[in-house]
Amino acid sequence: PCMHVKCRAPMYPRDNISRFPVSDEQVSWSKAYPEYNPPDHTSPSVLAKPVWADPDFRDPAFPQPKWNDLDGKINRKSHSGPYEIIDKVPRNPVGRTGVCGRGCLGRWGPNHAADPIVTRWKRDCRGNQVKEGISGKPILQFVAIQRRDSGEWAIPGGMVDAGEAVSVTLKREFGEEAMNSIEAREDEKVEIEEAIQDLFQNGKEVYRGYVDDPRNTDNAWMETVAFNFHDETGRSVGRIALNAGDDAVGVRWTDLSSSVKLFASHELFVKQTAMLHNSHW
């Protein structure tokens, strides 16, 4: 995995905990950093023992789970290969983050998510593809949501529930966050379901691995599988009204270009998508 930056921001999100400073040169575990003394932080939401959170495996009361393996319904394997267990807990494969413990993440080690990147071509009022002036390439649009937690624009992704197939997470999260399926009327639910089923049959994987997520710690981190679902004619999901729901407060079709600013490593995933379609970037 490559360098992480967003999970070294001065403040840990939500809980106002200061991260121990880690410069670019101090990220790697192989580089000695004797003064390194990160705060041990677990968010109140995790301490409340919700179903999605692990127990504190540093406590001798809890036997060690199957690290680097499928542990019952919980996937504790990393997309980036085996991670190390130091003092009974996993160690972030990229390096130091300035916080140890789990922060607000439920799992020690990898916390698996899935990211649906839904795209269509930008069209003018006559239905013709719009090309960007300088590159001369057609402009691709993707569905972005605005996150309730940070206000940043992002891909409408979410956590893979225990035992859930990634293909199911991709559809569920898109429905919840970009189409507000949870609060839709029964007849609307059917229309949403049909459009998603149809478009999500053919996806292309554009990324699999570590995410530079602001919630990452030295012992817990986000990983994802990002899939592109492209509506070539604009007549599938590209036609249905978008509606922000669940942990999204806004939703819109967004033109892809190198100037788009997104949450965590999402810029990288949408860039891969633009490359895949040879669209303007």
Chain contacts with ligand RP5 (rule: CB under 6 A): 113, 115, 154-155, 157-159, 211, 213, 222, 224, 264
CB of 111: closest distance to ligand RP5 in angstroms? 8
Sign of the dihedral through C-alpha 222, 256, 276, 245? positive
Question: 36 vs 6, 32, 54, 137, CA distance in Å?
Answer: 19, 9, 26, 48
Compute the least distance from the CB of residue 184 to Mg ion, in Å. 15
> Residue 148 CB, nearest distance to Mg ion (Å)?
9
Q: Which residues bind Mg ion (CB under 5 A)?
A: 158, 173, 247
Residue 164 has which token pair? 């859930």
Ramachandran assignment for 68, one of left (phi > 0), alpha (psi -120 to 50 degrees), beta (any other):
left
Name the binder of 115 from Mg ion, ligand RP5, none, CB < 5-8 A by kind.
Answer: ligand RP5
Query: Which residue, 113 or 274, has its beta carbon nearer to ligand RP5?
Result: 113
Nearer to ligand RP5, 150 or 257 (CB): 150
| Nearest distance from C-beta of residue 159 to ligand RP5, angstroms | 5
- Which residue's beta carbon is nearest to the bound Mg ion? 158
The minimum distance between CB 107 and ligand RP5, in angstroms, equals 12
Residue 222 touches which member of ligand RP5, Mg ion, none, C-beta under 5-8 Å by kind:
ligand RP5
What beta strand segments (E) does 17-96 contain? 17-18, 40-42, 70-71, 74-75, 85-86, 89-90
User: Which residues are within 8 A (CB) of 45 and not within 5 positions of it... i.e. 6 or more apart?
Assistant: 104
CB of 137 to ligand RP5, least distance (A): 26
Pick one of Mg ion, ligand RP5, none as the site partner of residue 116 (Cβ within 5 to 8 A by kind). none
Residue 262 binds: one of ligand RP5, Mg ion, none (C-beta under 5 to 8 A by kind): none
Residue placing its CB nearer to Mg ion in the complex, 240 or 248: 248
Structural contact between residues 142 and 276, judged by C-beta atoms closer than 8 angstroms: no
Distance (Å, whole) CA 245 – CA 278? 31
In terms of C-beta density within 10 A (0-12 exposed, 13-18 middle, 19 or more buried), how is residue 204 classed? Answer: middle
- The two three-digit tokens of residue 63, written as one number: 């036997």
Pick between residue 74 and residue 144 the one whose CB is nearest to Mg ion. Answer: 144
Residue 54 interacts with, from ligand RP5, Mg ion, none (CB under 5-8 Å by kind): none
